[in-house]
Amino acid sequence: MIYLDNSATTRQFDEVTQYMAEIAGAYFGNPSSMHLAGVDAEKIVRDSRETIAGILKADPKEIVFTSGGTESDNLAIAGCAYANRRKGSHIITSRIEHPAVLETVRHLESEGFKVTYLDVAKDGRVDPGSLREALCSDTILVSVMHVNNEIGSVNDIEALSGIVRSYDPSILFHTDAVQSFGKLDVLPKKMGVDLVSVSAHKIHGPKGVGFLYVKNGTKINPILFGGGQQNGLRSGTENVPGIAGLALASKLSCGSLGEKSQKLFEQKSYFVQELLKLPEVTVNGLTGEKNADNSPSAAGTAPHIISASFAGVRAEVLLHALEAKEIYVSSGSACSSNRPAKSATLTAIGLDEKLLTSTLRFSMSQETTREEIDATLTVLNDELPKLRRYQRR
């Protein structure tokens, strides 16, 4: 099997699986219980929080465990919107956010909040000038993702947050770092952000767990109500094995991050160059930079995501042709349902209408090998002419 759908989910590290099994068996107490079994479980949660805070160079009190990226995004956006409604009701986001962000702000719109959706350039990045123009005295929150989950565009969050801080330091800034954590540096204080969303299953951890970084002093309301765990911000008994798995996956993924990211980027650069040698293939989200030989460069993009459009072939047909060879890729957004829909991201970057239904996403991990990429390219080279002949009849 060649697995190139890591932006949807990653294979769980064996060390994480083994550690979670150990934790589930030995530390089954409720972390809120006052007896020793509860205290032991609570220590696992506390140690995990400290591990993640260390990676982010943050205060452990700033880490809130959630059920994953979707809940983290919902808590960040809805929680801050409701908490700061007396100050204003204007929210700014981009048109290429993950549905966990877009659907949340659309819901808030239905409740009377005003939302500005920023356009993006052809490379999928938010123009700092458009953000500056959108800010107003009523703005309370800006949410712009770090790495786009479909085309791998990377926003300069530090520059964007700097614009917001210059305008009004009290405006909160949230970034969805689900696709960047474990591949790029995610340091909230350096980035100048108040809230950061992360999910475990994108970094070889378990599904159903994640965290939200919430800067100390941020005014935010809970969206779940119950026993008041995690200082009242996220009620519900903590998922001790999941949290432990998240912490270990974070440690393993973020260790020697620069070296791992460089290796991954080299794999991507090679893949992109070889894809562009195939007839009628377009790689989306490139910044326009050139290599020394004047060929398109992948510089400035995330090291693991490649969006490619194959003219004359429907995406789902090519996807299943690859699947028949045990090569797994995606034709849509990470974490979306399997129902086909027009991509908001590809539409936002102005992709030709004919290519909207002819685009696949290949997403790698640190486990992806050059041999797997070459095998995928070989299958594409063999299958594309056949599929084009069939579909153009």
Domain ranges of the chain: 2-8+257-391, 14-254
- The domain 2-8+257-391 having CATH identifier 3.90.1150.10: the answer here is yes
Per-residue model confidence (pLDDT) at position 332 = 64
Distance (Å, whole) CA 139 – CA 133: 12
Which band of pLDDT confidence, cut at 50, 70 and 90, is reported for residue 147?
A: very high
Rounded to an integer, the average pLDDT of 328-338 is 67
**Is 335 noted as a catalytic residue in this protein?**
yes
Say which of 80, 136, 254, 335 is annotated catalytic.
335
Q: Please give the angle made by the CA atoms of 80, 186 and 61, to the nearest 5 degrees.
A: 55
As a whole number of angstroms, the distance between CA 227 and CA 223 comes to 13
Average pLDDT value for the chain: 96
Please write the tens of the pLDDT for every residue from 218-252: 999 999 999 999 999 999 999 999 999 999 999 99
Specify the residue for token string 């696992």.
44
Give the whole-number percent of the chain exceeding pLDDT 70: 97
Tokens of residue 251, six digits: 């440690």
Contact 74, 103 (CB under 8 A): no
Question: What digits encode the pLDDT tens for the residues 274-322?
Answer: 999 999 999 999 999 999 888 889 999 999 999 999 999 999 999 999 9
Question: Quick one: pLDDT band at residue 13, thresholds 50, 70, 90?
Answer: very high
pLDDT band for position 42 (50/70/90)? very high
pTM over 0.85: yes
pLDDT value of position 390: 76
DSSP string, 319-376: HHHHHTTTEE-BSS-TT--SS----HHHHHTT--GGGTTSEEEEE--TT--HHHHHHH
Q: Has residue 338 got a pLDDT over 80?
A: no
3-state secondary structure at position 280:
coil
Answer whether residue 334 shows pLDDT above 50.
no
| 3-32 mean pLDDT | 98
The model's confidence at residue 142, banded by pLDDT at 50, 70 and 90, is: very high
pLDDT for 148:
98
pLDDT score of 342? 79
Class of domain 14-254: alpha beta
